[in-house]
Amino acid sequence: MADQDTIDSTRADPQFYNRNPAGVNQHPHCPRPGDAEIERILREFHAQAITNRKLISQLLKSEYGIIMSDTTVSRRRRALGLSGQITSKQFVPKATQDALRAQARARERERERASVRPARPAPAPPSATTPDDLFGSSPEPEPEPLPQYEYDPLPPEASAGSATPEPLPAPPARKRRRTAARRQQQPPPVTRCLVTLEHEPPETIGKCYLLGHGTPSARIRQLEYAWGYKAGTLDLESADNKIHLRADIRCSFDDGGFVILPDLNTIKRIYRDTVDYMLAHDGARPPRAHIFPHESATATWTYDFVPLKLLSQNVTIHRRSLDPSSQPPTSPSAPAAYTLHHPPFPNFPKLECAAHPFFAIANAVEKFRKNVETVLRYPHLVEVRMALLPLWDVWTVDPPEGFFASGGGPVEGSSSFRVFSVGGA
C-alpha cells in the first residue's frame, strides 16, 4: 500500500508527464530555443513591421530555408518580448515625445479649469416704475402723417401736350443660339488608357476606382477625417478617385500587378507636413489645401509606374507614343508608333492624370500589404513601403465623436496618434 501511495504522489507531480524536458524532439530542422541567428531574424522582421506569425513562417522557409511552424514562431516571439504590434515609442524622436507630453498636460489643465464653473451672478432688481408707465396710461406721441404723392401715368410733356404718347422702340432681334450645332461640331473628348495611351476600341477603355465601392464605411470615415473632408462628403465617383485603363491592364491593376504613386519625396513631404500641422493644432488633421496649397479643380498629377507582381511575370507593355516627331508618315493605313517596356520597367515614363495623390496612396498601401513577399525582395520597394507605413498609420486613426457632431473639419483635442520618423525626409 505504501508503494502504491508513492506511485500516485509521483504521478500527481506535473514534471512526471514531461517526458522530454530538454526539448529534443523529432524536428531537427527547427532551431533550438536560444539560437542567436533565429533571434536576429525575428527581430529584423519585427523592425520591418512584419508581425503575422504565418507570414513569418513562410518567409523563414522561402528566404532562409528554415522550417518553423507558425505556433513555434509565436512562442519564440513571445519569449523575445516581440508579441503584438510594433510600439510607436521606438520610432518617436525624443523631442517629439516631449512635445506630445507637454500638449497632454496642457489639455488636462484646460479640462480642470473648464470643470470648475463660475457662480451665476444674481439677477438685477427690477427698476422702479410709476403706475402710469406700468399700465401704459402715460400719453404717447402721435405719429407724424405720411407724405401724400400724386401718381401721373404720363410724362410731363405728354400730359401737358399730346393726348397719346409715342410708342417705345422695339428691342433688337435676338440672335438665334446655335449651341446644339456647336456641340455637334465639337468632337467628343478622347479617353485614353493611362498606361498604354490607347483609345481604340473605346469599348475596352473603362474607368477604374482607386478606392473601391466595397471599402468599409469605418475606413471611409477614417479617411474623411484624415484628409480634411466633412463627415459623409467623400465622393467615390469624383475624378479624384478614378483613372482609365484598358481592360487587360485593369485586370492586372486590380490583382496587384502594379500601382501608381507620387515620387518618394512627395510621400515623405505629405507625412512631414501632416505631423507638423497636428503638433501645432493639438492633433487636428490638416485640410487638403494645407498639404497642396496650389491645388486647383483641374489639377493634373504626375505619378510613377511601380510594378509589383509584374516584376515576376514575363509581360511586355506596348505604350503608344503621342510625340508628333516620332509618328510615322500621315496616311489612313499608317500604324502608330509604340515603345516596348520589359520587366522590371526601369525607364517607364511618368503618368499624368486627374486622380488625387491621397487616393493613389490609399490604393497602393493595400496592395503593398497583400504582396509583402514580393516587396521584400526589392530594396527600392522596401524603401517605398517604409515611407507609406507611418503615413497610413496616421490616416487610419478613428475620428473623435465631435467629428460627426460638428459635420467634419478639424477637431481640437481629438484622438491620439502615433508619430514615426521617416529616413531622408
Q: Where are the domains of the chain?
A: 31-93, 202-328+335-405
Model confidence band, residue 227 (pLDDT cutoffs 50, 70, 90)? very high
Are the C-beta atoms of residues 75 and 57 closer than 8 Å to each other? Answer: no
What mean pLDDT is predicted for residues 230-251? 92
What mean pLDDT is predicted for residues 85-94? 53
> How far apart, in whole angstroms, are the C-alpha atoms of residue 227 and residue 239?
16
Q: Which residues contact 159 (CB under 8 A, 6 or more apart)?
A: 152
Model confidence band, residue 414 (pLDDT cutoffs 50, 70, 90)? very low
Model confidence band, residue 378 (pLDDT cutoffs 50, 70, 90)? very high
What mean pLDDT is predicted for residues 396-412? 68
Longest dimension (CA), the chain: 149
Are the C-beta atoms of residues 194 and 351 closer than 8 Å to each other? Answer: yes
**Is residue 104 helix, strand or coil?**
helix
C-alpha to C-alpha distances, 357 to 20, 92, 213, 300, nearest whole angstrom: 58, 26, 18, 10
Task: Please indicate whether residue 208 or residue 165 has the higher confidence score (pLDDT).
Answer: 208
412: nearest Cα among 107, 30, 60, 22? 107
Q: Which residues contact 309 (CB under 8 A, 6 or more apart)?
A: 252, 255, 256, 257, 258, 371, 374
> How far apart, in whole angstroms, are the C-alpha atoms of residue 388 and residue 420?
11
In this prediction, residue 114 carries a pLDDT of: 78
Residue 165 has pLDDT above 70, yes or no: no
204: nearest Cα among 250, 257, 256? 250
In this prediction, residue 49 carries a pLDDT of: 79
pTM to 2 decimals?
0.57
Helices in 65-173 by DSSP H: which ranges?
A: 70-79, 94-115, 131-135, 156-160
What mean pLDDT is predicted for residues 355-384? 94
| Residue 122 exposed, middle or buried by CB count within 10 Å (0-12, 13-18, 19+) | exposed
Other beta carbons within 10 angstroms of residue 411's beta carbon come to 21
399: nearest Cα among 221, 198, 243? 221
* pLDDT-wise least confident of 299-308, 327-336, 340-349: 327-336
Residue 51 has pLDDT above 70, yes or no: yes
In this prediction, residue 274 carries a pLDDT of: 92
284: nearest Cα among 355, 217, 227? 227
pLDDT averaged over every residue in the chain: 77
Place of cell 465639337: 186
Helices in 282-356 by DSSP H: which ranges?
A: 288-291
In this prediction, residue 284 carries a pLDDT of: 86
> How far apart, in whole angstroms, are the C-alpha atoms of residue 35 and residue 61?
16
Phi, psi angle pair for 318, to nearest 5°:
-95, 110
For a pLDDT cut of 70, what percent of the chain falls above it? 65
